[in-house]
């Protein structure tokens, strides 16, 4: 069975500082990995995804993540935090299970950005 663990339900950084949100997954087959962002009172929006190929993937708003199979990790980073990055971030994993395609989400990490 697949699962996702996000380390830290809350992360606080200063504006301009490095953002690092941690995600570890378990999957019996090669996974598809995603990061989604959720702003208050909105649905989730895809930040970036890994399906195949290059293990370092770049997404919107300057975020990137690296798939490390040996560590079963897919951590999200951004070199310099901006106030507008304050939101909830969800890591997710999915594969082509029997009969369809379902996604398992982590519990989320709320990012706070201090001025």
Partner 1 sequence: EADIYQTPRYLVIGTGKKITLECSQTMGHDKMYWYQQDPGMELHLIHYSYGVNSTEKGDLSSESTVSRIRTEHFPLTLESARPSHTSQYLCASLRDGPYEQYFGPGTRLTVT
Confirm or reject binding of residue 103 to partner 1 (CB under 8 A): yes
Q: Which one of 19-27, 63-71, 77-85, 105-113 is the stretch in contact with partner 1 (CB under 8 A)?
A: 105-113
Contact indicator for 93, 4 with CB cutoff of 8 Å: yes
Burial class (CB in 10 A: 0-12, 13-18, 19+), 103: middle
Please give the Cα distance from 1 to 92 (Å, whole number): 14
59-78: contacts with partner 1 (CB under 8 A): none
> Going residue by residue from 14 to 43, which x/- string records binding to partner 1, judged by CB under 8 A?
------------------x-x-x----xxx
């Amino acid at each position: 069975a697949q699962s996702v663990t996000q380390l830290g339900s809350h992360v606080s950084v200063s504006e301009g500082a490095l953002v690092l949100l941690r995600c570890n997954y378990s999957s019996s087959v090669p996974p598809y990995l995603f990061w989604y962002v959720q702003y208050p009172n909105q649905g989730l929006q895809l930040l970036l995804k890994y399906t195949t190929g290059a293990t370092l993937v770049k997404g919107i708003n300057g975020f990137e993540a690296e798939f490390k199979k040996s560590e079963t990790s897919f951590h999200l980073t951004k070199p310099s935090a901006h106030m507008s990055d304050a939101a909830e971030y969800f890591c997710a994993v999915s594969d082509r299970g029997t009969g369809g395609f379902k996604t398992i989400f982590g519990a989320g990490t709320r990012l706070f950005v201090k001025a």
